[in-house]
Structures are given as C-alpha cells and as structure tokens.
Structure 1
Amino acid sequence: MSDQFCLQEVIDSFRLSLSDTKEVSLDHYVEGWRGLVKLLNSLGSVFGFISKDAVNKIDILVSLRGGPGGAHYVSLQSMVQYELQSELVDQKQRGGHPESGCRTLLRLHRALRWLQLFLEGLRVSGEDGSPPALCSQAYHQSLAQHHPWLIRTAAGVAFRMLPSRASFLQLMNAGPPEQAVLVLGEALPLLGEVYSITEELYAQHNLLNLP
C-alpha cells in the first residue's frame, strides 16, 4: 500500500474484518485504521493530534496481537472475553492496565464514530456542504465529550482549515466527486456495522466508559 489515502482500501479492510458470524477480525480492523490514518495525514499537520493518537493505539494492538497472548487477540470478541476473564481491564482507574486491548480499541472506536458521522455529512450535504462545519458537528456528537478543553480547542482550529467539499472528495482517491460520493455510500454502512457491533459488545460488558 502507498502512503496515499484510498477509500477503496479502507472499504476492503473493514469488509474483510467482518466474518459470517459478525466477529470482527482485529488484523483487518487495524488495516482499516491504517487507511484512515492516511486520510488524517492527508489533511495536514493540524490533524496530527488525532493521527498520532490513532497510530499509538494501532501499535499497541499490533504488539498485543504479536505477543505471547496473541492467539486471544484474533477478534474483537475473543479479545474482550480474554481480557475480562484474565482481569486485564481496569474499569475504575487508569492505573493497572492502561494499555489493555479493550481500552486501546475503545479510543479508535470513538474516533471511528467521528469519521463515520463526518463522511456521512460530506456525502449527503451536496455541493454547498461545508467540511469545517460538518467536521465540527460530527466531532461534538462523538469525540468532544472525551477530550479535555485544550484538545477541543485545537480541534476547532484544525476543522477551520479543512478544504472545500470538492477538494475533500478528491482526497478520497475514488474518481471524480460524483463517483467518490457513490463509493462513500458503499463505505459508510460498512463502517457503521463495525461500529455498531463494537458498541453493542462494549455496552454488554460495561466497557464504554473505560478511563
């Protein structure tokens, strides 16, 4: 894969992450996020505060997957089961196991919601859609509640520097704008399904508010 963002690569990775029984493969989930990091990086250094955090979380998951307990990190479901049974998830404070897979993936899960909402807004907004406004709205519906004031302020500055809708659709690397909109229409239900499966599993085990 090149360093250039390609929406189709993200679609392929997240599609492969879903098994017939709706288990989520961590390897393909991580690959999908590698693609989304390319999108963040293509927007310039102002998005570094989110991009760097995503890369850090990806590295933790890759390390867990390649470590001695890697067999337990084949899927999202097996990871949650293993870490809960092994008491590797601290549900009360940061101390103990701050780099548990469950806690790490939760951060990516929240960011995935932000990108899903933003790209959906971009898809349906039409030619007059404003990426800065759409991105800000999506952020306040998702990530903002989990960020301190300093990060929220930096995010607001970054969003104001986003390109026009037409330029943004070109970044999708999916053909002309109208084609990019069609490809987004294919991608977003897929991202939504992965998000919903994760959300339901985390809610079931009371993991949505891990510190």
Structure 2
Amino acid sequence: MAEGADMFSLREVLVAFKGCLSEQQEVRVDPYLEGWKGLVRFLNSLGAIFSFISKDAVTKIQIIEGYRNSDQREKYLTIQSMVEYELSNGLVDLDKRSEHPDSGCRTLLRLHRALHWLQLFLEGLRTAKEDAKTSVICSDSYNASLANYHPWIIRKAAMVAFYALPPRNTFLENMNVGTTEEAMAMLGDALPFICKVYEITEDLYAQHKLLGLP
C-alpha cells in the first residue's frame, strides 16, 4: 500500500532517529524534527482527541525550524550547540518566561518530555502480552511521564482518549510495516535509537539544570 504524506510510517521514524546521532554522540536537530513529524502522524492516527498533544508538537517543531532557517542556523545544528549558544547569550529564561518564551531550549524541552511518553508507550506495546490492553499501556506510560506537566483537565481528557484505542494487535497492524510480527521487529529496531536520543538530551539538560525550565 502506498504511503500518503499524512500516513504514519514507523520506518520513517526509525530512519530519522537513527540519523540523529553524530559520531560525537551529539543530537542533530534536523533529523530530530523529522522523527517528530513522523510521531505527529502517529498521534494523529490515534484520533482527533490526541490533537491537544500533536498540535502543540507541530507548533514546537515550527519554532525550532524557524531557528534552523535563520541567520543563526549553524548555532542550532545540534541540540548541544543550541544549548551552548542560547545559554552563552542569555537567550533562556531560567526563572521566568517573559523575555524568551520561545527559546530553542524551552521549546525542545516540551518535545523531549512528550518523546519520553511515546518512548514508554511504544516499548510497552513491544513487550506486552498479546492480550494486553492498549489503553492501559498508554495510560501507564502517560502517567509515568507527560502527565506530570499537564493540568488536571488535560490529564482527564487524555485518559478518556486512551480508552478509545484499539486492541494491541490491531494497533500494531496500523503501524504500516506489515504484520504484527513485522511491527514488533521494527519497534525493536527503532526504540534503541529513540531511547539513546532521549537519554543524551536528558543528560545534557540535567547538566545545565534546564529540565525544569518554566
């Protein structure tokens, strides 16, 4: 089946996150954003009620793409160079968000938090028993990650959305890589790269005390 522009492709996400890591173990911004565009299509495939997350992710992607298309584009080549540049030039609001609410560091942190949820969710899908409920996997992953940063009304809406998710096998077949077994294998290939990108970013932000940016 041909893959449309708006159709989720796990294979594309794998390729993008695999291309994120440089030889120096720095995280390249362009493939990171491409991977996220694939994950947005994944969120959209879960139903319209997930748009509260996917629309926010699209906004964040566009902000960082703006930096990559600016005169300072080279400063935003990797997450490491972005952090160094913005901190060195006072472009990050460490205690408030009035002056630089759309700094690259703050914007990417929001994507980073959501990536943790999706990482946990996809890993849960891969390792769960065949009769496991997708809704439980998704809600457990959400509560262990992104829920910590959402107000009550958003958390409530998310829980309602999770209950509408299809059974695990149907869900895996909808990943557009073939059979359930092929989807499982593809997840097994993709997740180490997603996890590595997440861990490197987490360590970088922790080192510079940026994980709690307002």
- Choose from 4, 8, 13 the match for 2:11: 8
Write out aligned runs for 1:132-211 (5 A).
132-211=135-214
RMSD across aligned C-alpha pairs, in angstroms? 0.8
Unaligned runs of 5+ in 1: none
Calculate the TM-score normalised by the size of structure 2. 0.97
Q: 1:44: Cα distance to partner? A: 1.1
2:105 pairs with one of 98, 102, 105 = 102
Amino acid at match of 1:112: L
Q: Counterparts of 2:211 and 2:99 in 1: how far apart (Å)? A: 18
Aligned length: 211
TM-score when normalising by structure 1: 0.98
Shift of 1:129: 1.3
Q: Which residue number in structure 2 is paired with residue 35 of structure 1?
A: 38
Task: Tell me what 1:73 maps to.
Answer: 76
Q: Which runs of 5+ in 2 are unaligned?
A: none
Q: Distance in 2 between matches of 1:114 and 1:206?
A: 21
**What's the offset of the Cα at 1:126?**
2.1
Q: Deviations over 1:100-130 (max 9, x none)?
A: 0000000000000000001111111121111
Give deviations 1:12-61, integer Å, cap 9, x for gaps: 00111111111111011000000000000111101000000000000000
Quick one: distance in 2 between partners of 1:80 and 1:51? Answer: 24
Q: How much identity, in percent, do the aligned residues show?
A: 56
Find the counterpart in structure 1 of residue 29 from structure 2: 26
CA distance in 1, matches of 2:105, 2:175: 30
- Matched with 1:93 is 96
Partner of 1:120: 123
Deviations 1:63-110 (A, max 9, x none): 111112111000000000000001000011121101000000000000
Deviation >6 Å, runs of 4+:
none
Q: Which amino acid aligns with 1:45?
A: A
State the distance in 1 between where 2:139 and 2:97 align: 28
